[in-house]
Structure formats: C-alpha cells, structure tokens
Amino acid sequence: MKFKTFIQIYYSHRLAKASLLKKFYLNLTLPFIYLLNKFYYPKKMLNKFYYPKIKNLDHFSINHEYLFHKDLNYLFQYFNSDKGDFYINQYQKPAKRESKLIPGHSYNHFYDKYFKKKKLQYLNKLEYLNILELGSFRGNAAAALFFYFKNAQIWCGDIFPDLFTYKSKRIKNFLIDTSSELELKNKIINKDENFDFIIEDAGHYLKDQIISLFILFRKLKPKGIFIVEELDFPDVRKDMNLENEKPTLKEILNLIKKNKDFDSKYINNNDKKYFIDNLKEINIFKGRFNEIVFIEKK
C-alpha cells in the first residue's frame, strides 16, 4: 500500500475536519503510523493462514482445485469478501485488524441466482465470460469469481490499484476514477471488450452511480447484467450525497419501473434513450444492510 493510498483511505476524512493543531500533529505522526501498518500489510491472512501479499491464483489453483467446485458464499467467505454472509473486517488499518468474522452484506444469495444461470450457459463453451468489477479494493471478490467462473476474464478497476492482492492471466487490475466520465470513456468505452456482467461497487456517490450505469450500459453484451451495490447509499448517507441532489439512481430506476419519465443533469439524451430502449428488467433487493440492483439488458 502506497503512503498516499494509506492517507486517503484511513485519514482523509479526519484531516478534512481537523483543527490546524490536529493537522500538524497528524502530518507529523502519519509517516510513522504508515510504517507501522506497512509491517503488518505485506502478509494477508486467509482462513487463519498468512500468504504473501500478491497471490498468483494460477499457481494457487493447482493445489486448490476443490475451490472450483464450491458455491459462491463459500468462496466469498474464503477470500474474505463482504459480499457474502460473513467476513473479517478488511477496512480496519492493518495494525488493528482482528481475525473474528463479522456479518457481511449477504448479497451472495442474489448473485447466486443470476450467476448460476450464466455459469451453466458457459459450462461447455470454449469462449470466455467477461466480468468488469469497479471498486475491486483488495481483489477479494475477484478471487472468488476466479474460482466460481472457471472460464471468466475479470477486469478489476479501482482508484487504489496498489491495494490489489491477487494476480492471474485471467485478471486485469487497472486504475480508474469512476467519478470521471472521461476516464470511463477512455478506459472502458473506447476499449474492445464487452461484458456479461458489470459490477459497480466503487465510490457509491450519487453522481458516480448514475454516470457509471448510463455510460457503461452500452458495454454490456445482449442479455448482460449490470449490478449496483449499496444502491441506497445516496438516499440514506449524507456523505454519499452532500448536496442532497435528486433524483438518486434508486429514484430513477423506480421511475423507470413505473414507466415514468425522469431527468438528471448527469445523463445525456443519447445515453438515456439507449438505456430505455435496451432495458429488459430491473430488480432491487435488500441485503443484510443495504440494497443491490440487478439490471438486465435485452
């Protein structure tokens, strides 16, 4: 983890609110706090065993073939993704990280419904299934999907790619800021790949959710599925919608489900028309804490 990444993840909010004296103290001590945490960071704990920071899943899978036959919740928990029922808190600073399991989002029950069908479709095909995950963080969900979809190519975008702890010939990790329309276009829209699944699990801010869906919906293959996690964040969390803007993505999707018109300064007419013309179905579900939406393309 780079020093800049460490500061942005764990201290950016504290620095923004701190007094001048507190800022001086933090700026003085943060290099030492970073070095302490870096001592803990190079090793990653999985199932009470420590492995090197960057795990090569192509090599790891040779002696862990059984993981290809496990269900999604098992894999999410094994690789410590908060998408499953339980996980070890990966958002604590490394020096303070505990090994006890805590409740996760329990999105696995909904993912299983949509993923299982696609997995069966591709089971006997020679072609690869393409998955784009935005907001990959440490790559825990990507590692789970590596084993769940044996023939998947997985693109993992994040604003902090140096946090990613896995590598494979089937995984590509890249830097992207999903709040930037220019980056979405240059790094995804203008590339050749189209996707069976796009998972938006990045900043969860109102603007980010809206532009990611309406810009990237074109990159879904026919019958592809766009997934937005923590759909309700801009509705229930002030820090995800500082100006209390309306409509949120959740409100937009509910209007579409009722065949009602909507307007947003973040959506141009071409993207709006393309989305409406190519939309098949919208399904919103409540996980253990928050909401997730699965949007199917015709």
pLDDT class of 129 with cuts at 50, 70, 90 = very high
Output the pLDDT for position 77: 96
What is the pTM for the complete model shown?
Answer: 0.86
* Separation of alpha carbons 173 and 166, rounded Å: 9
The answer to whether position 237 is within a domain reads yes
pLDDT class of 85 with cuts at 50, 70, 90 = very high
CATH code assigned at 142: 3.40.50.150
Domain extent, residue 238, equals 56-297
Q: Residue 169: is its pLDDT beyond 60?
A: yes
Task: Tell me, yes or no, whether 155 and 255 share the same domain.
Answer: yes
- 57 phi, psi to nearest 5 deg: -70, -25
- 169 phi, psi to nearest 5 deg: -65, -20
Output the pLDDT for position 75: 98
The answer to whether position 271 is within a domain reads yes
The answer to whether position 154 is within a domain reads yes
The answer to whether position 48 is within a domain reads no
pLDDT tens readout for residues 252-268: 999 999 999 999 999 99
Nearest to 297 by CA among 226, 240, 243: 226
Structure tokens that stand for 71 in this block: 């269900």
Output the pLDDT for position 202: 95
Number of domains in the chain: 2
